[in-house]
């Protein structure tokens, strides 16, 4: 098991012993739903500029985890909110959606809403259907971000570019940087280019040759 960082140590735990993110929706019998965010808490994290996992105040440099499209496409944006470094590092190694070689568990939105209560608004995180889960995930650090709205009305996060740090992850393990860049482009169905990567990363990376 990956060591739980200090910033997450005081959070409640699920039955496996994993810390429950502050934004996770918890139903009436106390069961947390990691793929669903409590909208009221999520909005408070946004308003108070707090880490969406630990609930602690963010630093100037904040971390985001998501797909290459979210990170590098000119119109890309993250659904998951900004995090502290240690919190995001723990998440990228332990979150089943990000780290598990296969991810198949889905929960019906209607059942979640009923179990949590109609008075609490929820937002499903990791919306992509399982077959469309990215082949590689990205952990990026940016100095600030802005908020935009999706076509469904959800709040999305657009980190300030160029990024200060970029890592590529697959199955809970960090992979070689150039391999991550290659996978990001070749698995995007033509929606990402190497020029997009250069524009987003600035001096961090430039294509050889």
List pLDDT tens digits, range 10-58. Answer: 999 998 899 999 999 988 888 888 888 899 999 999 999 999 999 999 9
pLDDT of 143 above 60:
yes
What percentage of the chain exceeds 70 in pLDDT?
A: 83
User: 40 is in which domain, residue-wise?
Assistant: 18-204
* Spatial separation of the C-alpha atoms in residues 46 and 62, rounded to whole Å: 13
pLDDT at 102: 56
For residue 47, give the H/E element and its range.
helix 39-47
In a domain, 33, yes or no: yes
Q: How many domains does the chain have?
A: 1
**Of the ranges 13-22, 101-110, 136-145, 150-159, which is most confident?**
136-145
Is residue 103 packed enough to be buried (19+ CB in 10 Å), middle (13-18) or exposed (0-12)?
middle
In a domain, 5, yes or no: no
In a domain, 7, yes or no: no
The pTM of this model reads 0.85
In a domain, 11, yes or no: no
pLDDT at 192: 96
Which DSSP string do the residues of 105-143 spell out, in sequence order? ----HHHHHHHH-TTS-EEESS-S-GGG--SSEEEEEEE
pLDDT at 208: 67
pLDDT of 124 above 50:
no
In a domain, 30, yes or no: yes
Average pLDDT of every residue of the chain: 85
């Amino acid at each position: 098991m990956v060591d739980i960082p200090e910033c997450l140590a005081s959070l409640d735990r699920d039955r496996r012993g994993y810390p429950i993110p502050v934004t996770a929706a918890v139903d009436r019998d106390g069961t947390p739903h990691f793929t669903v965010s409590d909208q009221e808490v999520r909005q408070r994290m946004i308003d108070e500029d707090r880490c969406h996992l630990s609930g602690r105040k963010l630093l100037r440099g904040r971390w985001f985890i998501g797909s290459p499209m979210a990170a590098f496409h000119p119109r890309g944006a993250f659904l998951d909110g900004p995090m502290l470094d240690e919190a995001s590092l723990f998440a990228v190694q332990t979150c089943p959606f990000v780290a598990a070689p296969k991810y198949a568990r889905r929960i019906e939105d209607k059942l979640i809403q009923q179990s949590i209560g109609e008075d609490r608004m929820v937002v499903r995180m990791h919306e992509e259907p399982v077959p469309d889960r990215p082949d590689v995930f990205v952990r990026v650090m940016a100095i600030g971000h802005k908020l935009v709205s999706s076509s469904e009305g959800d709040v999305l996060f657009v980190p300030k570019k160029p990024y200060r740090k970029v890592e590529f992850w697959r199955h809970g393990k960090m992979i070689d940087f150039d391999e991550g860049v290659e996978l990001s482009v070749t698995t995007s169905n033509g929606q990402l280019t190497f020029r997009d990567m250069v524009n987003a990363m600035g001096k961090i990376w430039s294509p050889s040759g």
